[in-house]
Amino acid sequence: MAVGFLSGRSGAGTLDARGRAHLLRALLPALSLAIVVVAIAWLNPRAISYFGFTLMLNLAIPIALATIAQMFVIAGNELDLSIGTFVGFVGCVTATWLREAPLLGVATLVGGILVYAALGALIHLRNLPSVVVTLGMSFVWQGLAILLLPKPGGKAPDWLLAMTGFKPPFVPFPILAALVIAGVVQFALMRTSYGAILRGSGGNPSALARAGWSLLTTKIVLFSLAGFFGVLSGLALIGITTSADANIGNGYTLLAIAGVILGGGEFVGGRVSPVGSVIGALTLALAASPLLTFMRIPPDWQVAANGAILIIVLAARALISRRET
């Protein structure tokens, strides 16, 4: 039999190099977070305290939740360009109906998740590019938010304020919340048996279909989870800011995508990491304003500086990924 030459067995040496690249890649999100924290500590040692972290990371929780939402969509090889305006819409519902007419508010939020599920079904059944569908939806959510709350205002329900104002002993609330979110999602997506199916639907959809799984179901589930975490993100955001604005979530779309990629995810291939995504979101939240403020960068330049940090971290990741293959 003359088939031996086809089986390309990689030698032990290359496997080691690949293993190192693997490790580096897995550690990169944590490493970039550590660098940002160390830089803040160096610039302003007083920020590294219970109170400092509570203040600096407050807005990281809604970003982390939006990032998790985006991560579910990316796990199925799609992209959600509407998550930011959806979070804004949820915020407006939360600050108005959820306080004044809780039943209507809850029904609207559940309806939002159902719309997400329907989008997943539509994208799968009609084989539409998700970028186009969700870009369209982003204007729909924005429009609905403006209809609901033409001027900034409203007020968060008291129970929500009580939840986000919770001060646990020793560990700042945002860190605790980040740990819980990362732990729960990591278990659900990476450890459960259906989580493997969901990730497989991004890795090799046709293999999954051949094994008798419904790709329609996996897509609906992934989009519903995105909608669910989008709702949580909107709730957390309003709990922290106490009032809403129709444009409040607009920046989240790109932050969420950046968070997933920063956390070790890939746009295609079902390769995502819940823990990494949360770390990515925290890094972005810290790098966004606390770090830059401590660096005495004027607010006018902060957005550009933020973008520069993103490019540096993502470039480092791209370099490591190349060594991996």
Partner 1 sequence: MSPETASNIVKLDGVEKHFGAVRALVGVDFMIRSGECIGLVGHNGAGKSTLMHVVAGTLQPSGGRITVGGGIEENYSVVRAQKLGIRCVFQELSLCPNLSVAENTRINHQSLRGLGWRKRAAALIKAKLDEIFPGHDIGASDIVRDLSIGRRQMVEVARAFTVTDDPLDLVILDEPTSSLDARTASQLLAFVRRFVAAGGSCILISHLLGEVLENADRIVVMRDGKVVAADAASAFDRDKLVTAMGGVEPRGRVAAEAAARDREKGALRVRARPARQTDGAELVAREGEIIGLAGLAGHGQTALLLAIFEAAARRRPGIEVTAPVALVAGDRQSDGIFPQWSIAENIGIRSIAKLRNGLLISPQREAELAQYWQRRIKIRTPDIANNILSLSGGNQQKALFARALGSDARIILMDDPMRGVDIGTKLDVYDLLREEARNGRTFLWYTTETEELDNCDHVYVFQSGRIVADLSRGELTEEKVIQSSFAGAS
Nearer to partner 1, 8 or 299 (CB): 8
Contact call for residue 5 and partner 1 (CB under 8 A): yes
Per CB under 8 A, the list member of 4, 13, 169, 298 interacting with partner 1 is 4
- Part of the chain binding partner 1 (CB under 8 A), chosen from 50-58, 126-134, 176-184, 266-274: 266-274
Minimum CB distance to partner 1, residue 247 (Å): 36
**Which residue, 128, 120, 131, is CA-closest to 220?**
120
Tokens of 44: 């302003």
Helix, strand, coil percentages in the chain from 3-state DSSP, rounded to 5: 75, 0, 25
Per CB under 8 A, the list member of 140, 209, 305, 314 interacting with partner 1 is 209
Per CB under 8 A, the list member of 200, 217, 247, 314 interacting with partner 1 is 200
Q: Residue 116 in contact with residue 226, Cβ under 8 Å?
A: yes
Contact call for residue 199 and partner 1 (CB under 8 A): yes
Within 132-191, which residues bind partner 1 (CB under 8 A)? 191
Q: Residue 175 in contact with residue 52, Cβ under 8 Å?
A: no
Nearer to partner 1, 145 or 189 (CB): 189
Minimum CB distance to partner 1, residue 211 (Å): 5
Contact call for residue 127 and partner 1 (CB under 8 A): no
**Which residue, 259, 272, 270, is CA-closest to 233?**
259
Contact call for residue 215 and partner 1 (CB under 8 A): no
Q: Residue 280 in contact with residue 113, Cβ under 8 Å?
A: no
Q: Residue 231 in contact with residue 90, Cβ under 8 Å?
A: yes
Minimum CB distance to partner 1, residue 293 (Å): 39
Residue with tokens 């539409």: 128
Neighbours of 319 (CB within 10 A): 11
Nearer to partner 1, 169 or 212 (CB): 212
Contact call for residue 12 and partner 1 (CB under 8 A): no
Tokens of 294: 């401590």
| Rounded Cα gap, residues 26 and 171, in angstroms | 25
- Find residue 104's DSSP bridge partners: none
Q: Residue 261 in contact with residue 280, Cβ under 8 Å?
A: yes
Nearer to partner 1, 206 or 299 (CB): 206
Per CB under 8 A, the list member of 197, 215, 314, 316 interacting with partner 1 is 197
Per CB under 8 A, the list member of 167, 169, 170, 212 interacting with partner 1 is 212
Contact call for residue 3 and partner 1 (CB under 8 A): yes
Per CB under 8 A, the list member of 204, 311, 318, 319 interacting with partner 1 is 204
Q: Residue 113 in contact with residue 228, Cβ under 8 Å?
A: yes
Contact call for residue 49 and partner 1 (CB under 8 A): no
Q: Look at phi and psi of residue 269 and say left if phi exceeds 0, alpha if psi is from -120 to 50, else beta.
A: left
- Interface residues with partner 1 (CB under 8 A)? 1-10, 18, 22, 191, 193-194, 196-197, 199-200, 202-204, 206-213, 269-271
